[in-house]
Amino acid sequence: MSLKTLIIFFFLVTIKLTAQDIAVIQYGGGGDWYSNPTALSNLIKFCNEELKTTINTKPKVVSPNSIDIFDYPFLHMTGHGNVFFTQEESENLRNYLLSGGFIHIDDNYGMDEYLRKELIKIFPNKELIELSKNHPIFKNPYNFPQGLPKIHEHDKNRPQAFGIFEENRLLVLYTFESDLGDGWENPEIHNDSQETRLKALQMGANIINYVFKN
């Protein structure tokens, strides 16, 4: 481990002892990283009420090449289109993740083909692995016996949750064909039923609980 990585590791561990905040990744490539503008605030409010977390309800926006990402144990990323990371951004994200950070990527429909190429830049020797229905992230505090729930229909494909791991630690969670973020949005935006929104919020709460309790 390089000196730079070691310094970052101890810096992040110190932050994680007290931090319970989330930031949104402002990635390049032209994709709408800013989509679902009400989603995270609604999810955070739900978690603060139901899980007694103390997360800032106004998530910060961070660049993937900024040292500011190390202030946040949880990064979120979404969008519909192109994603691009420079080599500097890829290295910074790799150091962040290997030092204890976590990224949840929620495909808002259309980012899959671009995202997979960019994840290879971050971890050339790692693959996305589909999480089984028995993974702990589907168990607590809300039980999803069938795994990732379907929130919005796009291509009639089943919802899938993929992960990138370092040993047994989940570094990256990629939710595909589920569109959790749409279910977190204000109810009038997508006109989802209360049952659908609750399902999306509960799955989001499981993700946050998994990151902050592990």
Average pLDDT of span 30-40? 93
Rg over alpha carbons for the chain, rounded to the nearest Å, is 16
pLDDT at residue number 43: 97
The three-class DSSP label of residue 154 is coil
Which among 57, 58, 97 has a CA at the least distance from the CA of 74? 97
* Cβ neighbours around 14 below 10 Å, total: 11
Please state the length of the chain: 214
Residue 145 in this model has a pLDDT that exceeds 60: yes
pLDDT at 155: 75
| pLDDT exceeds cutoff 70 at 115 | yes
DSSP element (H, E) containing 103 = strand 103-107
177-210 pLDDT per residue, tens: 999 999 999 998 888 899 999 999 999 999 999 9
pLDDT band at residue 17, thresholds of 50, 70 and 90? very low
Q: Mind giving me the DSSP string for 105-124?
A: EEE-SS-HHHHHHHHHHH-T
pTM of this prediction?
0.90
Nearest alpha-carbon partner for 50 in 170, 141, 134: 141
Phi, psi of 86 (to 5 degrees): -75, 170
The confidence score (pLDDT) of residue 157 equals: 86
Cα–Cα separations (whole angstroms), residue 192 to 18, 41, 45, 136, 188 = 35, 17, 18, 27, 8
Q: In whole angstroms, what is the distance from residue 29 CA to residue 83 CA?
A: 5
For residue 14, pLDDT beyond 50: no
Give the model's confidence band at 18: pLDDT under 50 very low, under 70 low, under 90 confident, else very high.
Answer: very low
pLDDT score, position 19: 60
Question: In the prediction, which pLDDT does 35 show?
Answer: 92
For the domain bounded by 3-213, which CATH number is listed? 3.40.50.12140
- Taking only the tens place, the pLDDT of each residue in 37-69 is 999 999 999 999 999 999 999 999 999 999 999
